[in-house]
A = this chain, B = another copy of it.
Amino acid sequence: MTERIRDFLRRRREDGPCLVVDLEVVRDNYFKFARALPDTRVFYAVKANPEPQLLKLLADLGSSFDTASVVEIELALDAGATSDRISFGNTIKKERDVARALELGVRLFAVDCEDEVEKIARAKAATGAEDVQVFCRILCDGAGAEWPLSRKFGCEPELAIEVLEHAHRVGLEAYGVSFHVGSQQGNTEAWDQALGSAAMIFHTLAEKGIHLSMVNLGGGFPTRYLKDIPAVEAYGQSIFEALSRHFGNRIPATIIEPGRGMVGNAGVIEAEVVLVSKKSRAEDEIRWVYLDIGKFGGLAETMDESIRYPIRTDRDADATTPCVLAGPTCDSADVLYEKAPYPLPVSLSIGDKVLIEGTGAYTTTYSAVAFNGFPPLKSYVI
């Protein structure tokens, strides 16, 4: 929470929940990444928050952009990024979207299997594009991350060697390796194992005359929710040490893709208490607190209670009691915290405002178009 956000909310008069993002915090975050990893290019993960003003700020600061779709590529271009500062980082792309990206000037693509390489090769031929680079994503176990990882993206390192060889064979530049250590990664050492795999891939391919030159370190940099997190400097130091350990004095070019770490702590959602109730008169009956925002209004990352946001009220000096926290829709799955109830002031009342901090990333775009007739989350960038 910043003074600027507080001022903005004090003057706000409309009904309904809203997110306010303070660009000064984003600017600070950008410089922290740039300083902590001075030899690494920053590709902001647009999906975390694609607000045009935010993208423009980052483009002006010199950031590059990791995009998931043609729409996100267009947003990055509109914000002033040149196409050489854009990566099409989604491993799941329609061939016509690859062609469109090539037409827009993008030359850097993620893959994790030979069929995806084939699409890019065909689209390259169809569009006449040159110097197209691909990096292959490898699986990473994600231990230490708070947002569920799956095996959805990437392949085993052994297969990545074949995929990159294939890319080389069909006339693409086998550019490097990427991985993702898992979102909201609290362990600064989490990059080490995957960097070991990356070095093995570099080495094996070099013996075949294919020289990779880039490691994409992905995202995973956390934002502060309830628990303290390591400073960005600690991540930078640990990553640099792991790079040195595995690559010796031939450290490759590196890029990072912070999303949450770049904008998470820059945003605050203001919401309203719609109802406080109990289900029976029993002494030990838990209190239910219902807000005007829930899982389908922007707080999708409370799924499985993965992300636990800090919640502030004007009554935080009062005694608290554990509450089930739920959203306003007629959907029984629209409950934010129940397995681990959330301590909230006993005095919290209908009509009170609550501030949900650390919500600058992965909120607005997750919100449903009109579930139960509720409009998507409003967003202000200041």
Contacts and interface: CB of A to CB of B under 8 A. Distances in A.
A153 interface: yes
Nearest to A93: B274
Contacts of A288: 151-152
A45 B329 CA distance: 13
Interface residues of A, number: 81
Contacts of A335: 150, 152
Interface in A147-171: 147-156, 158-159, 162
Given A155-B277, A274-B92, A280-B159, A350 B115 contact: yes
Interface in A310-327: 324, 326
Interface in A297-338: 300, 303, 324, 326, 328-335, 338
B70 A277 contact: no
Contact of A374 (B69, B154, B158): B69
A216 to B, nearest CB: 13
Interface in A80-129: 89-96, 112-113, 115-116, 119
Contacts of A92: 274-275, 290, 326, 328
B369 A367 contact: yes
A292 interface: yes
A376 interface: yes
Interface of A: 15, 45-47, 50, 67-72, 75, 89-96, 112-113, 115-116, 119, 139, 147-156, 158-159, 162, 183, 272, 274-281, 288, 290, 292, 296, 300, 303, 324, 326, 328-335, 338, 350-351, 364-376
Closest 3 CB pairs of A and B: A71-B373, A69-B373, A113-B277
